[in-house]
Chain A
Amino acid sequence: MGHIQLKQVKKSFGDVTVIPPLDLEINDGEFVVFVGPSGCGKSTLLRLIAGLEDTTAGNIEIDGKDATGLPPAKRGLAMVFQSYALYPHMSVRKNIAFPMKMAGMPKEEQDKRIAAAAKALNLTDYLDRRPGQLSGGQRQRVAIGRAIVREPAAFLFDEPLSNLDAALRVGMRMEISELHTKLATTMIYVTHDQVEAMTMADKIVVLQAGVIEQVGSPLELYRAPRNKFVAGFIGSPKMNLIEGAEAAKHNAHTIGIRPEHIDVSTTEGLWQGTVGVAEHLGSDTFMHIHGVPGCDPLTVRAGGEVGVKHGDTVWLTPNLTHLHKFDAQGLRIE
């Protein structure tokens, strides 16, 4: 079980409020991602749930029981840290065994669980090594192993992949997703990388300055961002936000159109512009177009092998069914 409910949870450091009172419900078995720019309070929120920080006000309930004042160990949660936080003086085996040793679990049971975790995480050959002798990906797996042997109510991940290189990150992302499918345990995952959020989450919580901007499934957030911030944060490359006359035509203060929802033509279209930087990725080409009023540069996605280059003139036509409209406060207009 791993149902977590935050009720009017608030956190201040001295006079600075980093998280104004917020409510959030995380259902059992959900993969929830907290995403937001650095300093948005996502890690603090995770640490409040973990019990590593005290709440200033409000309640945290885990499986219906008030856990607000409980020390971290009593909450039945396991955490994987950004730096992995392995115990450098212990072997992999002892690292994984540590939480079970603290819980006073019988030795045979410990060995059984270590063997199972090591097998699941491809660590069997490394059990007698020290963390210092492992690669980044292996260390990450040890940290996950240490978390799973406790069979916690929920896993907390604090930017666990940010220290890995890009290729490894994609692999670990899938491993964690698979682990979630297999264990069906609640997972709360903090990241500043919206790609991680989109690919892994059942539910994304977008945070800015300690405030929840929107909660929803990845596609809900992609299709109907509640405000300009979420619109700009979710999706890669970023949504184009256009102000001024062009927006006024649609009775909005700002209109948003994603790079993948703009048709590019070398002969005709609604807006005319000049190609600035063109990024050829093979599968796609991202072009930064200058000269479109209200948004400079405007990013568009074209097919992989388009023949435009720097300085060419192109015509753009937005796909109006995917147009997002926002008012002067930045809120979505339906």
Chain B
Amino acid sequence: MARAVTNNRKALNTAIAWTIGLLIFFPILWTILTSFKTEAQAISDPPVFLFFDWTLENYSVVQERSNYMRFLWNSVVIAGGSTILGLIIAVPAAWSMAFVPSKRTKDILLWMLSTKMLPAVGVLYPIYLIFIKMGILDTRTGLVIVMMLINLPIIVWMLYTYFREIPGEILEASRMDGASLKEEIIYILTPMAVPGIASTMLLNFILAWNEAFWTLNLTAAKAAPLTAFIASYSSPEGLFYAKLSAASTMAIAPILILGWFSQKQLVRGLTFGAVK
């Protein structure tokens, strides 16, 4: 909706938006800044903001102490694998609910979402035991499965909303034009749903990348992703803020870059249903 906004009002809105934006971004900025400080400066009181002796020492220490690439690879496999597996299951599910709904479709959707309301710790014990029994504790396979299950309701919901946006008449037109169900899906539905599928993938990837509870509890050494890599720097030996920050920066860098490049796609996807 277009509304007449005075210049003063516009300036105020801009200021508020920047303030909120900076507040949200500040923790990340502070982490990045801290990673370039010495341990002493990192905990100095009053805190130093920009004028300190910039150093790369933390990064070299972190590199020496742990194998960053191995954690990174685990993160990529777990986030990527769970996203792809989730999509394979969620696309047909969302499709059938969006285009061939039954009386219970709404209930099923709500039920799926309700599984997200259960605190994760409530099912940690049974899942841990199942993992031991199946011999998949501290494996990437196990983590891919758990991550997929955790995010599946969100993927299905998002895809369902996107598919609902596709006008039924277009699908009917393709049926009139002689397309089989398979052809309808390949030539009409999928190309039209690409923005929605892409932003669902991206969001799911980010969620899986940053997820810490399950990755910390179900991995030890072999399958540990970057979240475990960060956690290893808040160890009983004491807190090393600068090194912890360096590790965190290294852990979030890939996802930050991915998010930065795909932000246009992500915003478009997330507001797809809201703005027409």
Contacts and interface: CB of A to CB of B under 8 A. Distances in A.
A237 interface: no
Contact of B188 (A52, A79, A87, A150): A87
- Secondary structure at chain B's binding surface: helix, strand, loop or mixed? helix
B275 to A, nearest CB: 16
A73 B169 contact: no
Interface in A76-114: 77-79, 81-83, 85-89, 98-99, 102-103
A71 interface: yes
A102 B169 contact: no
A18 interface: no
Interface string B133-162: 000000000000000000000000000000
A78 B176 contact: yes
B173 A81 contact: yes
Interface string A291-328: 00000000000000000000000000000000000000
B222 interface: no
Given A83-B169, A98-B187, A88 B192 contact: yes
A22 to B, nearest CB: 23
A304 B169 CA distance: 44
Interface residues of A, number: 22
Contact of B172 (A85, A102, A103): A85
B75 to A, nearest CB: 34
A77 B176 contact: yes
Contacts of A150: 177-178
A146 B58 CA distance: 65
A146 B180 CA distance: 17
Interface residues of B, number: 17
Contacts of B169: 81-83, 85
Contacts of A9: none
Interface in B173-193: 173-180, 183, 187-188, 191-192
Given A52-B172, A88-B192, A102 B167 contact: no
A145 to B, nearest CB: 12
A79 B183 contact: no
Interface in B20-45: none
Contacts of B188: 87
Given A89-B191, A98-B187, A81 B172 contact: yes
A72 B170 contact: no
Contacts of B178: 73, 99, 102-103, 150
Contact of B192 (A50, A79, A89): A89
A146 B177 contact: yes
A71 B179 CA distance: 10
B173 A85 contact: yes
A146 B176 CA distance: 11
Given A81-B172, A82-B169, A85-B169, A73 B191 contact: no
Contacts of B170: 85-88
A83 B167 contact: yes
A72 B176 contact: yes
- The 10 lowest CB-CB distance pairs between A and B, nearest first, are A85-B173, A102-B178, A99-B177, A73-B178, A85-B169, A89-B191, A79-B176, A81-B169, A85-B170, A72-B175
Given A72-B172, A73-B180, A89-B191, 6 more contacts: A52-B172, A73-B177, A79-B172, A83-B169, A98-B174, A103-B178
19 contacts: A52-B176, A73-B175, A73-B176, A73-B180, A77-B176, A79-B173, A79-B176, A81-B172, A81-B173, A87-B187, A87-B188, A87-B192, A88-B192, A89-B192, A98-B174, A98-B177, A99-B176, A99-B178, A146-B173
